[in-house]
Amino acid sequence: MGGEFGLIRDLLAPLAQNPSALGLRDDAAVFSAPKGYDLVVSTDALVSGVHFPAQTKASLVANRALACNISDLAAKGASLAGCTLNLGLSSEWDDLYMRELISAFGAGLKTWGLELWGGDTVRTPTGFLSLTVHGLVPHGKMVQRSGAQNGDDVYVTGVIGDGWLGLQQELGEQNHLDDVRKAYSDPQPPLAFGQKLIDIATSSLDISDGLMADLDHLCHASAVRMDIQGADIPYSGAGQAYLNAGGALEMLLGGGDDLQIGFTASPAKEAALRALAQATQTQLTKIGRVTGDVTQGDSQMSRAVLRSQSGTEIALETRGYRHF
């Protein structure tokens, strides 16, 4: 770690007023996890021109770098501790852009209650933010992808599709719909809700690649199959209007970047979940059920099946991917 770049160091140092960061002046950060807690570690890299358009405003890049990583911890039931940031400085980013980027990153850290522990700054032709976030869960309580049980209900937080629709609006498309740009430019993973899942959910993951693709991942890890009721998937007004106007279901379901939580829980937990959703002001929708165990490693059988109201399977050409 280090600070080869004076401006960047001067901008980042005020964001790191926590004991672990040692003023960003040491080779490493040091953190003492509280007794009885496990460390939960996740990392994601966002690359200019790949995960966001090269001309994207700096605050959007900072917001998304934080949210994509925090979303992973939220789905695991973790509270936030600290992060390290490797910042690849594009030659296309001038001082003003860097100031805005770091200012927005700092504001995000404060909002989320996440400490900056350290990082590295490098020059690169293609700008990137590589963030590693550290959270805490009570020992042994992290909600994994692999615990779904036959008969469990399947839930999702928030709405599906607004991440993708929001990006379209940022790009100048779909602007006839209600403005959902913030779902893309400043996503809000349901962190408080997620933290309470440690005593409720049997499995959980963040919805980032696309609802059906991610639920497939959960099915594979848990060696189960599930039915998802297409009519029960929650959309925003903009999402519903997009579908009503003949928009492609594949894009809304599989466009990615929802940063919501998909999880499974025993039907006995429904009342507790409804109360939790109300207490944390989180939209919560039951969208399906785990319908059977499959042989571990059987990727043909361990998947989420999207059903119409008549019960037939709705085939999707694509189940998910990450755009920008």
51 binding a second copy? (CB under 8 A): yes
Q: Which is nearer to a second copy, 30 or 245 (CB)?
A: 30
Cβ(28)–Cβ(118) below 8 Å: yes
Three-class HEC string of 253-283: HHCCCCCEEEEEECHHHHHHHHHHHHHCCCC
Q: How far is the CB of 147 from a second copy (least distance, A)?
A: 11
Give the Cα separation of 290 and 303 in Å (integer).
Answer: 10
- Total interface residues for a second copy by CB under 8 A: 65
- List the x/- string, 137-176, binding to a second copy by CB under 8 A: x-x--x-xxx------------------------------
299 binding a second copy? (CB under 8 A): no
What the block records as the tokens of 43 is 């990392």
Q: How far is the CB of 243 from a second copy (least distance, A)?
A: 27
Q: Can you say whether residue 12 is alpha, beta or left, with left for phi > 0 and alpha for psi between -120 and 50 degrees? A: alpha
97 binding a second copy? (CB under 8 A): no
Q: Which is nearer to a second copy, 49 or 53 (CB)?
A: 49
State whether residue 205 is helix, strand or coil.
Answer: strand
40 binding a second copy? (CB under 8 A): yes
Q: Which is nearer to a second copy, 69 or 236 (CB)?
A: 69
Q: Which is nearer to a second copy, 239 or 256 (CB)?
A: 256
What sign for the dihedral angle of Cα 124, 55, 162, 74?
A: positive
Please, which of residues 228-287 interact with a second copy by CB under 8 A? none
Find how far residue 240's CA is from the centre of its chain.
Answer: 22
Q: Which DSSP symbol is given to 315?
A: -
Q: Which residue type, as a one-letter code, is found at position 228?
A: I
Q: Diameter of the chain by CA atoms?
A: 63
The correct pick among 10, 17, 28, 314 for binding a second copy (CB under 8 A) is 28
Tell me which residue has tokens 């209007």: 241
Q: How far is the CB of 48 from a second copy (least distance, A)?
A: 9
- List the x/- string, 106-125, binding to a second copy by CB under 8 A: -----------xxxx-xxxx
Tell me which residue has tokens 């989420």: 304
Report the DSSP beta bridge partners of residue 229. 307
Q: How far is the CB of 5 from a second copy (least distance, A)?
A: 11
Strands 37-47 vs 128-138: parallel, antiparallel or unpaired: antiparallel
Find how far residue 208's CA is from the centre of its chain.
Answer: 6
32 binding a second copy? (CB under 8 A): yes
Q: What's the Cα-to-Cα distance from 100 to each of 51, 109, 132, rounded to whole Å?
A: 19, 14, 21
105 binding a second copy? (CB under 8 A): no
Q: How far is the CB of 310 from a second copy (least distance, A)?
A: 34
The correct pick among 108, 135, 187, 210 for binding a second copy (CB under 8 A) is 135
Q: Say how many CA atoms lie within 13 Å of 324 toward its Cβ.
A: 20
Find how far residue 54's CA is from the centre of its chain.
Answer: 21
189 binding a second copy? (CB under 8 A): no
The correct pick among 10, 17, 25, 274 for binding a second copy (CB under 8 A) is 25
The correct pick among 52, 105, 128, 164 for binding a second copy (CB under 8 A) is 128
Please, which of residues 60-89 interact with a second copy by CB under 8 A? 72-73, 75-76, 78, 82, 84, 86, 88
The residues of the shown chain that bind a second copy, judged by CB under 8 A, are 1-2, 4, 20, 22, 25-33, 35, 38-47, 49-51, 72-73, 75-76, 78, 82, 84, 86, 88, 117-120, 122-126, 128, 130, 132, 134-135, 137, 139, 142, 144-146, 205-206, 208-209, 217, 220-221, 322
